[in-house]
Amino acid sequence: MDFDFSEEQKQLGEEARKFLADKSPPAAVRAVLEGRASFDLALWKQLGEMGFLGAAIPEAHGGSGMGYLELCIIAEEMGRSLAPVPICSSIYMAAEILKDVGSEAQRAQWLPVLASGEKIGTVAVFESLGRDPLSTRSVRFSDGTLTGTKLPVMDGGVADLALVLASSAGSEPSLYLVDLSGPGVAREDLKTIDPSRPHARLTFDGVAAERIGGAGEGVSILTRAFDRAAILLSFEQVGGADRALTMARDYALERMAFGRQIGSFQAIKHMLADMYVSATLARSNAYYGAWALSENAPELSVAAASARVSATQAFQHCAKNNIQIHGGMGFTWEFDCHLYYRRSNLLALAIGPLSWWEEQLIGRMQDKNDLAAAA
């Protein structure tokens, strides 16, 4: 597979980088981190106005209709700038599921307001921090209402819409659409390592809900959605890893010790080389995922798991070593190193833990090999 982004797509990335460097500087991230806001509302609205949020949403439903490759490009710059906005929950997950299986009425009601940033969506799947994100299903649907608790829910404290995985009598779990402004919804903010991407506990007490997608198809719908989100998140992680590597390199060239740049010391050289290798491997896998996503290729499930595993490892590795190379200064609040370390660890759990994705990758590759052997 020989793949690269077009010149127009690369230019879009350059424009997104300039825009986010201006509108989402470290000071804006810190403002959210320090509790002065739940997220950067002004930036969120501007992203909608620029057409970035609706990049992969059809024009017929209020989006800019560019495509998945453009959304991947935008996601990388979101990761590079640590944009404190609910893009994963609202765009990578909720909007994608609405596009995939929503009724025409559901799409018409929700996709335009998600694309514009007027409303925020999320997906309420987890009920614990267990190994399998799709295994716990105690939330129940009965007589048109939902009862139970979901946690942690990405951006659950600020979302207007939730797509909730729930069980019902006589069938496998389904997905249900809930307007979170209605009665019976209780929210509790949760403390996480990165408050700039907040999480919450959502409790439903007889909340009105309508099914989205087929009955009993909740897990299969979410599996497809997780694969798409894994690829988009991998670009965020690649952007973050690349920025952490650049920060470490620049500091190693500027910092002097014993009359020499610390970048001339072998230990620092090896750390930077290892960071570069992991970031480059992650980018390669992310590009493979972007190609598979844009083509809806049969390799999509394997590509998604590969991108998720390598990008998660790379971002955590680069963010951690960026702190180490900065030495004692790297551990201080004033330096930006911890911002990337926080985000790397939060994204590692955003759509299921790394161990679960590693198991998915192994299983999917075995299935692929079995099919090839049988052909």
| DSSP per-residue codes, 97-149 | HHHHH--HHHHHHHHHHHHHTSS-EEEE--SSS-S-TTS----EEETTEEEEE
Residue where a domain terminates, one of 163, 182, 216? 216
Q: What is the CATH number of the domain that holds 289?
A: 1.20.140.10
Q: Are residues 286 and 333 located together in one domain of the fold?
A: yes
Contact predicate 369/273, CB 8 Å? no
Q: What is the CATH number of the domain that holds 23?
A: 1.10.540.10
Residue where a domain terminates, one of 82, 97, 119? 119
What's the confidence (pLDDT) of residue 211? 97
Q: Are residues 75 and 141 located together in one domain of the fold?
A: no
362 assigned to some structural domain: yes
Peptide bond into 152 cis (omega under 30): yes
What's the confidence (pLDDT) of residue 370? 73
Instruction: Give Dmax over CA atoms of the chain in angstroms.
Output: 75
Dist. CA 365–CA 306, nearest whole Å: 10
Q: Are residues 166 and 277 located together in one domain of the fold?
A: no
Q: Are residues 51 and 184 located together in one domain of the fold?
A: no
Dist. CA 245–CA 248, nearest whole Å: 5
What's the confidence (pLDDT) of residue 226? 97
177 burial level (CB within 10 Å; 0-12, 13-18, 19+): buried
What's the confidence (pLDDT) of residue 252? 96
- H runs (alpha helix) in the chain: 7-23, 26-33, 41-49, 68-81, 87, 96-101, 104-116, 218-254, 266-295, 300-325, 337-347, 354-374
Going from the C-alpha of 299 to that of each of 65, 85, 235, 305, 323, the distances in angstroms are: 24, 30, 18, 10, 36
Q: Are residues 81 and 175 located together in one domain of the fold?
A: no
Q: Are residues 46 and 111 located together in one domain of the fold?
A: yes
Dist. CA 200–CA 190, nearest whole Å: 5
1 assigned to some structural domain: no
Q: What DSSP line would sit under 44-106, residue for residue?
A: HHHHHHTTSTTTTS-GGGTS----HHHHHHHHHHHHHHT--S-HIIIIIIIIHHHHHH--HHH
Q: Are residues 315 and 249 located together in one domain of the fold?
A: yes
What's the confidence (pLDDT) of residue 136? 66
Domain of residue 342, residue span:
219-374
Q: Are residues 284 and 186 located together in one domain of the fold?
A: no
Residue where a domain terminates, one of 216, 231, 262? 216
Number of domains comprising the chain: 3
Q: Is the dihedral of CA 194, 198, 203, 204 positive or negative?
A: negative
Q: Are residues 191 and 107 located together in one domain of the fold?
A: no
Going from the C-alpha of 256 to that of each of 181, 263, 264, 272, the distances in angstroms are: 56, 9, 10, 17
What's the confidence (pLDDT) of residue 238? 98
Q: Are residues 19 and 88 located together in one domain of the fold?
A: yes
Dist. CA 166–CA 205, nearest whole Å: 13
Start-to-end CA distance of the chain, whole Å, equals 21
**8-state DSSP, 264:** G
**β-bridge pairing 161-168 and 121-124:** parallel
Q: What is the pLDDT along the chain (375 residues), one digit of tens a residue?
A: 678 999 999 999 999 999 999 999 999 999 998 888 889 999 999 999 999 999 999 999 999 999 999 999 999 999 999 999 999 999 999 999 999 999 999 999 999 999 999 999 999 999 876 667 777 678 999 999 999 999 999 999 999 999 999 998 878 899 999 999 999 999 999 999 999 999 999 999 999 999 999 999 999 999 999 999 999 999 999 999 999 999 999 999 998 888 899 888 999 999 999 999 999 999 999 999 999 999 999 999 999 999 999 999 999 999 999 999 999 889 899 999 999 999 999 999 999 999 999 999 999 999 888 776 776
Q: Are residues 360 and 270 located together in one domain of the fold?
A: yes
Per residue in 107-146, is it b (16+ CB within 10 Å) or e — as a string?
bebbbbbbbbbebbbbbbbbbeeeeebbeebebebeeebb
12 assigned to some structural domain: yes
Helix (H, G, I), strand (E, B) or coil at 263: helix
Q: What is the CATH number of the domain that holds 175?
A: 2.40.110.10
Going from the C-alpha of 363 to that of each of 197, 350, 371, the distances in angstroms are: 30, 21, 12
Structure tokens at 226: 């997780």
What's the confidence (pLDDT) of residue 184? 96
163 assigned to some structural domain: yes
Contact predicate 148/166, CB 8 Å? yes
Q: Are residues 86 and 227 located together in one domain of the fold?
A: no
